[in-house]
Amino acid sequence: MPNSNRYQMPDPSIQLTDELIMHHIDRNSRVIDLGCGDGRLMQRLHDEMGCEVMGVEVEQSNIVAIIQRGLPAISADLNEGLVDIPNDSFDFAVLSQTLQQVRNPKRLLLEMLRVARRALVVVPNFGHWRVRMEVLRRGRTPITQALPYEWYETPNVHFMSMRDFRDLMDGIGLRIVKESPIIKGRSVDQLWGSNLRADSAFYLLERDSGKG
């Protein structure tokens, strides 16, 4: 178990993340939730916003949980892309706190914007000053509260900062429509020194061609 003295990145509350994502999704639109867990967000999008939803999950028990909600889900490994999902079959693709865990984040982001018009992504910001301190001062790999794993068993295989994320978007021709730093469980529209102070960040992305 992680040492309690060590800095743990606060997990933006699930509730907040859901609200933030829902805020950027149009009513009655088609939404695909990647790594949707037990379908909590899908249910809200369906019930409160009349969205047509679809979940992608790797865990069998989660697929059953989603079917139990009366919602559709397909089992797929995000590491293998979204080969079964046709082009432009959704309005929005959601990926919350999962990007840092997939083997090829760049490919998955491109896949998201192949199957959907817009992508909503929440990623941890490993550029947070306390993460940097942890590395500098103690020479230790930081761990997060939500994913309290040691480096040798963590599902987080990529450690990116907000600045890194922006660079990648530039590099692969995706446009950041909106960036919201999340700090201590609250999303803020603008934050001075966000790359140092935000523990996570929300992004709304679309293809740079300006389609949709």
Query: Which residues contact another protein by CB under 8 A?
Result: 30, 52, 54, 60, 63-64, 66-70, 72-75, 83-86, 89
Whole-Å CA distances, 7 to 11, 12, 140, 143, 173:
12, 15, 10, 7, 35
CB of 32 to another protein, least distance (A): 9
Q: Is 166 exposed, middle or buried (0-12, 13-18, 19+ CB in 10 A)?
A: middle
**For another protein, the closer CB: 35 or 124:** 35
Q: Are 70 and 63 in contact (CB under 8 A)?
A: no
Q: For residues 203 and 18, what is the distance between their CA atoms, to the nearest angstrom?
A: 13
CB of 100 to another protein, least distance (A): 26
**For another protein, the closer CB: 20 or 85:** 85
**For another protein, the closer CB: 52 or 164:** 52
CB of 89 to another protein, least distance (A): 6
Whole-Å CA distances, 142 to 148, 160, 164, 172:
10, 12, 17, 28
CB of 63 to another protein, least distance (A): 5
**For another protein, the closer CB: 53 or 143:** 53
